[in-house]
Amino acid sequence: MFSVSKQRGYRDEGYLVLDGLLSPEECDALRDRMSEIIERMDVPEHCRTQFSTDHDEQLKTQGNADYFITSGDKIRFFFEKGVFDDKGEFIVPREQSLNKIGHALHAYEPLFKAVTHSPKIQNLVKKLGLINPVILQSMYIFKQPGIGGEVSPHQDATFLYTQPLGRVMGMWIALEDAALENGCLWFIPGSHNDGITRRMVRTPKGTFPLTDFIGREKNYDDKLFVQAPVKKGGAVLIHSEVVHRSAANTFDASRHVYTFHVMESQNTVWSPENWLQPTEELPFPSLYT
């Protein structure tokens, strides 16, 4: 039950952990389907892009890559560091090479689409008062055992900017236990009230790199972060302005997650400078249909 106290907790803290959103069977079905996708994966060498939230690496890798910036209406593959040799060949099993797959699983994969638009998700969002929520993007995040990279402190609004701010929410669903050992999320409670200090924006058409950053991420005191472990099938609601991070996975268990972002589109302006843009092939679809 999504009670009034939980709604208040989300609004006060900027995040909320919910147990039992999906059943173990639903989680396993999503993982099995992802295994099938990986088996068929055929990634050109020039598309073997490493993913990082580190400021400088973003500029050099994903932000500069056409493969990334045109992935909003496609299903594309992003890899961990050190999984290719100098010839671009895998040096680890391909199922252990991926950082994430994104960003349109919700549109083109029926099983992921069904979960995203499920009545339980719709009812949850309605209780938060969203009138016309649309789906911006979706991702499957692997957090591979032993090599799953750190995600440095950031705010989702840096990448998904709206006017006014605060109109975007992340739905982060644990398909395996997300514990301290394998890289659960950490938050600074209440930090969604402090605005943002950095934005990732598209550069003018025809220029390079394809994206740049305005401002810099603040330095945060580690003592401010609170861990948010969640069991398989549980979810974390993430306000777009709350500061959060996750540590590298040095454990022998992965931490698979399906996550997507929704935006209240009523009286909201989606920035044309965001890396992610709706397309003719895939306008941002309504969550309620």
pLDDT digits (tens, 9 = 90+) for 227-244: 999 999 999 999 999 999
6, exposed or middle or buried, with CB in 10 Å at 0-12, 13-18, 19+?
Answer: middle
- Model pTM score: 0.92
Residue 98, in any domain of the structure: yes
State the pLDDT at residue 220.
96
- Averaged confidence pLDDT in the chain: 91
State the pLDDT at residue 82.
79
Which of residues 198 and 61 earns the better pLDDT score?
198
- Residue pLDDT, tens place only, 31-77: 999 999 999 997 756 555 556 666 655 554 544 468 889 999 999 99
Residue 81: CATH number of its domain: 2.60.120.620
Segment 194-217 shows an average pLDDT of: 91
Across 86-95, 174-183, 260-269, least confident range = 86-95
Residue 45, in any domain of the structure: yes
- Residue pLDDT, tens place only, 151-161: 999 999 999 99
Residue 289, in any domain of the structure: no
State the pLDDT at residue 250.
86
State the pLDDT at residue 2.
72
Residue 287, in any domain of the structure: no
- Residue pLDDT, tens place only, 132-153: 999 999 999 999 998 888 899 9
Residue 56, in any domain of the structure: yes
Residue 286, in any domain of the structure: no
Percent of the chain with pLDDT over 90: 74
Residue 189, in any domain of the structure: yes
Instruction: Give the chain's domain count.
Output: 1
Which of residues 110 and 88 earns the better pLDDT score?
110
Q: What is the span of the domain harbouring residue 117?
A: 4-270
At residue 99, does pLDDT exceed 50? yes
Residue 147, in any domain of the structure: yes
Q: Is the dihedral of CA 247, 65, 44, 31 positive or negative?
A: positive
At residue 20, does pLDDT exceed 90? yes
Q: How many CB atoms lie within 10 A of CB 231?
A: 14
